[in-house]
Amino acid sequence: MLNIALFGPPGAGKGTQSKKLLEKYNLTYISTGDMLRAEITEGSELGMKAKTIIDKGGLVDDELIIQIIEKKIQTNQDSHGILFDGFPRTTVQAYILEGLLLRMGSSLNCMISLEVPEDALVKRLLLRAKDSGRPDDALEVIKVRLQEYENKTKPVAEFYEKKNKYYPINGVGEIEFIFNNIVDIIENTKNRTQTNIVLLGKPGSGKGTQGNLLANEFGLVYISTGKMMRQEIKDGTEIGKLAKPYMDKGEIVPDEIPIQLIERKINENPHANGFVFKGFPRTLIQAYIMDGLLQRVNMSISALVEMKIPTLEAIKRLSARANTAKSRPYDSSTDLIVNRLEQYKEKTNPVLEYYKNQGKYYFIKAEGTETEVLLRLKERTIDVFKENY
């Protein structure tokens, strides 16, 4: 489904652009203002409750709004998506919309905001008042409505900015020019699908090397929680101080640490084609966390690839690494290496089962040269990329 929210202050031109979008994309039109006015015209109980509030330029309470939205959606089952005009108007309504679309197995593609200076808005609304006779287009009410928008609705922009779904455009100019700008945004958000790969495997299986190579091959962003934590330790940050005792022993750090680092990396790359995750999730709980992290930004895991090597080979590789510049504190003794391998078996095997049950599990033999392993990795994941591009 294609779900769009058209955003902007009263008089920004949302109604005009909505008509053109409905014709182009065959969407169900959700205009809370229009639907409420229809209820008022019919003299329904809902309409009478809303009339007093609307006439004063206020916002109708969420319970009434959701009732009419759900009613409209249920009577338009065959549309290709939904165009929301005038909703959500508050951050609470934004959360409500997230839940509403989630129940439908869908999500909002984008919020497009028509930006218009206040003096131009007042002129437009006063002109509209002469033609429509709407009581909420009187000057004193216009000022209240614009102030309501500033106080309550602008924070909605911040909500969707954090989800990388907010697109402001100039709402002043020729109608067709503005419409073309809106369509460009919609087409870009329709076609943009991220591919997110998790690499798992015993310590020493080459996840870091192959993760970087795979990310470069397909234009993805590589996220290694271990690498990021080592940098935090080197920089002496608070996160680094918390992570160091666990990292030194090769143990799994508390979940709140990698969560912060992953969220930061994702937020730093809002236009990425996807991500390669190395070192997370390593436990079943972390798999649940990963789903939640990605769902917040309208993404999900595309595939998990387990890089398989024999335990003896892992011990040999880690022992050899201990004598190089890439040495880790937990490579320093056989006991620490064995401890890490035991943790992998105990904690990470349930993660593999979790993704097997979702049909997202793949594996490769991780022995051989870097080139040979990369070739196997590409062969295993190429179908995932074909599905997403």
Same domain, 279 and 182: no
Residue 36 backbone zone (phi > 0: left; psi -120 to 50: alpha; other: beta): alpha
Q: Which of 20, 128, 192, 360 is catalytic?
A: 128
Catalytic residue among 19, 37, 72, 134: 134
Does the active-site annotation cover 145?
yes
Q: How far apart are CA 389 and CA 372, in angstroms?
A: 25
Q: Is 282 known to be catalytic?
A: no
Q: Which of 175, 191, 207 is the last residue of a domain?
A: 191
pLDDT at 387: 60
User: Rounded to whole angstroms, how far apart are CA atoms 275 and 261?
Assistant: 14
pLDDT in tens, 318-333: 888 878 877 777 667 7
With contact defined as beta carbons under 8 Å apart, do 98 and 107 qualify? yes
Tell whether 283 and 377 lie within a shared domain. yes
Q: Which residues of 228-246 are buried (b: 16+ CB within 10 A; e: fewer)?
A: bbbebbeeeeebbebbbee
- Assign 3-state DSSP to the chain and report helix, strand, coil percentages, each to 5: 60, 15, 25
Cis, bond preceding 88 (omega within 30 deg of 0): yes
Reading across the β-sheet that carries 2-7, which strands appear in turn? 28-31, 81-85, 2-7, 110-115, 166-170
Least confident stretch, 127-136, 209-218, 271-280: 127-136
- Whole-angstrom Cα distance, residue 378 to residue 337? 29
Name 105's Cβ contacts closer than 8 Å, sequence gap at least 6: none
pTM for the structure as a whole: 0.57
Measured CA to CA, the distance from residue 249 to residue 47 in angstroms comes to: 65
> 89 and 214: one domain?
no
- What six digits make up the tokens of 43? 């003299």
Please tell me the distance from the alpha carbon of residue 278 to that of residue 284, in angstroms, as a whole number.
Answer: 15
What CATH number is associated with residue 147?
A: 3.40.50.300
Provide the b/e sequence for 339-377 (b: ≥16 CB within 10 Å).
bbbebbeebbeebbebbeeeebbbbbebeeeeeebbebb
- Output the average pLDDT for the chain: 86
Backbone angles phi, psi at 203, to 5 degrees: -55, 135
124 catalytic residue (yes or no) = no
Cβ neighbours for 260, distance < 8 A, ≥ 6 positions apart:
239
CA distance 174 to 292: 42
CA distances to 228, 247, 293, 354 from 264, in Å: 11, 20, 11, 25
**Same domain, yes or no, for 200 and 187?**
no
- Among candidate residues 170, 191, 212, the one where a domain is terminated: 191
Residue 387: HSE in the Cβ half-sphere, 13 Å Cα cutoff: 10
Q: Based on the fold, state whether residues 216 and 177 are members of the same structural domain.
A: no
Residue 2 has pLDDT above 70, yes or no: yes
What is the Cα–Cα distance from 361 to 202, expressed in whole angstroms?
16
Domain that holds residue 297: 195-388
Same-domain status, 185 and 90: yes
328 is catalytic: no
pLDDT tens-place string over residues 83-108? 998 789 888 889 988 888 877 767 88
**Measured CA distances, 198 to 169, 298, 362 (Å):** 36, 17, 10
**The pLDDT value given to residue 133:** 61
What is the band of 172 on the pLDDT scale with cuts at 50, 70, 90? very high
Q: Which residue type is seen at 101?
A: L
Looking at per-residue confidence, does 67 or 306 come out higher?
306
Looking at the fold, whether 217 and 173 belong to one and the same domain comes out as no
pLDDT at 252 over 90: no
- pLDDT (average), residues 196-212: 93
**Highest mean pLDDT (candidates 46-60, 141-155, 281-295, 361-375):** 361-375
Confidence category of residue 344, pLDDT binned at 50, 70, 90: confident
Q: What is the pLDDT of residue 50?
A: 82
User: Does residue 97 sit in the same domain as residue 62?
Assistant: yes
Residue 380 has pLDDT above 90, yes or no: no
**Same-domain pairing of 148 and 201:** no
Is residue 128 among the annotated active site residues? yes
User: Which residue, of 155, 170, 191, is where some domain finishes?
Assistant: 191
Does one domain contain both 18 and 80? yes
Residue 101's pLDDT is 84
Euclidean distance between CA atoms 261 and 267, whole angstroms: 10
Instruction: From the candidates 145, 202, 265, 278, give the one annotated as an active-site residue.
Output: 145
Whether residues 73 and 98 fall in one domain = yes
Cβ neighbour number for residue 216 with a 10 Å cutoff: 12
Sign of CA dihedral 118, 184, 29, 270: negative
The predicted model gives 140-156 an average pLDDT of 82
19 shares its domain with 99: yes
- pLDDT, residue 58, reads 72
Percent of the chain past pLDDT 70, that is, above it, reads 94
HSE-CB for 129 with a 13 A CA cutoff: 15
β-strand partners of 278: 199, 224
Phi, psi of 114 (to 5 degrees): -90, 115
Count of domains in the chain? 2
